[in-house]
Amino acid sequence: MEDRNELKKKLDSILQKADIGSKKKETVELEKKSLAPDFWSDPKSAASTMKTITELKREVEDLEMMQILFEEGDFKEAAKLISKYEILLFLSGPYDRGGAIFTIQAGQGGTEAMDWSNMLFRMYTRYFEKKGWSYEEIDRVAGDEAGIKSTTINVNGDFAYGYLKCEAGVHRLVRQSPFNADKLRQTSFASVEVLPIVQNKEIDIRDDEIEWQFYRSGGHGGQNVNKVATAVRLIHKPTGIVVSCQTERYQGANRDNALKILRSKLWQIEEEKKSKTIAGFKTGQLASWGRQIRSYVLHPYKMVKDLRTDYEESNTDSVLDGGIDGFVEAYLKNAKD
């Protein structure tokens, strides 16, 4: 554990940046606003305000508890809270607190890559569950023989985008192939794209800019083929962006999801115009040796290594079971150094 002086420096830095006084003042102002007779006339806005009040109170409690634990000499528990709050301070982007649109796409490697995409799907959904986030698969293209070619997932929860944006990039797997008798060593690739969920008012989409196509959905994993055309595909004429959604039972829900994805992709384009960098990953490029962020080696030795931070773990089973917090936290801390 860090020594007392180092811990005190971190605590002082956090308290200075967090500004407990301003958080308390904002909480009081919002609580006064919530007492207005017409407060609930706009349920969405009211719910958002109440959520902000809850979050502010929780932050203030954590900050004050940090101080108390440190002053009482409980440095181990103080260090845990300080580490947690250090991460939250790094997640200060306008969309970091919200949900994410998370896409996994098989790259070079054929059936191997499609199986690898399925392994990543399992790893990430386990991670979502560990974080207490809800998720919903809104589009899936099954692999020809095994696994998946691509999947898109809506992820909702506190700081989902803030954490998941760290995972955008190419993921490389090295292992003995389970798909040939000789069990030769095989390298496979899959890409991860992460976009924030953007509200309607932030990106304007005109009806005449969209061409809609409707078709029958195969359902989850190709099962239970629908008798009606519930699946949708939209083409955004100005940009050529194509979005498909098919996992919902009703066409309207698939349309809503397709528009949500389009809105996020248009936001991405606007951000790239403003600055050539974005905390997401551009699709449309086949995942391969370039732009790798992490390597997962299962043979001849076991090691998962992040190529951006050099953070590594040898317990590959734990990582593939959703234990990726170490990689995410190392990236967030490194990004702010």
Q: Which domains does the chain have, with CATH numbers?
A: 4-90 (1.20.58.410), 96-337 (3.30.70.1660)
Q: What pLDDT shows up at residue 107?
A: 92
231/312: higher pLDDT: 312
Identity of the amino acid at 39: F
pLDDT over 50 at 190, yes or no: yes
More confident residue, 86 or 23: 23
Stated pTM of the model: 0.78
Share above pLDDT 90 across residues of the chain, in percent, rounded to a whole number: 56
Residue spans of alpha helices (H) in the chain: 4-18, 20-34, 43-71, 75-90, 111-131, 160-164, 251-274, 316-320, 325-336
Q: How do residues 135-175 score in pLDDT, each as one tens digit?
A: 999 889 999 888 999 999 999 998 999 999 999 999 999 99
pLDDT over 70 at 285, yes or no: no
State residue 51's pLDDT score: 87
Q: State the chain's mean pLDDT as an integer.
A: 87
> Residue 241: its pLDDT value, please?
92
Measured distance CA(87)–CA(333) in Å, rounded: 7
Stretch 185-194: mean pLDDT, rounded? 93
Mean pLDDT, to the nearest integer, of 101-123? 94
Summarize pLDDT for 203-227 with one digit per residue, the tens: 888 889 999 998 876 644 444 444 4
pLDDT of 275: 65
Token pair 């190392």 in the structure block, residue: 330
Residue 182 CB partners (closer than 8 Å, separation 6+): none
Q: Give per-residue pLDDT as tens, 2-57.
A: 678 889 998 998 888 888 999 999 999 999 999 999 999 999 889 989 988 998 99
* pLDDT average, residue stretch 305-313: 96
238-265 average pLDDT score: 88
Query: Tokens representing 273?
Result: 């115009």
Confidence band for 272, pLDDT divided at 50, 70 and 90: confident
Structure tokens belonging to residue 15: 């308290």
Of the listed ranges 23-27, 122-126, 222-226, 315-319, the one predicted with least confidence: 222-226
The residues facing 232 across adjacent strands are: 214, 245
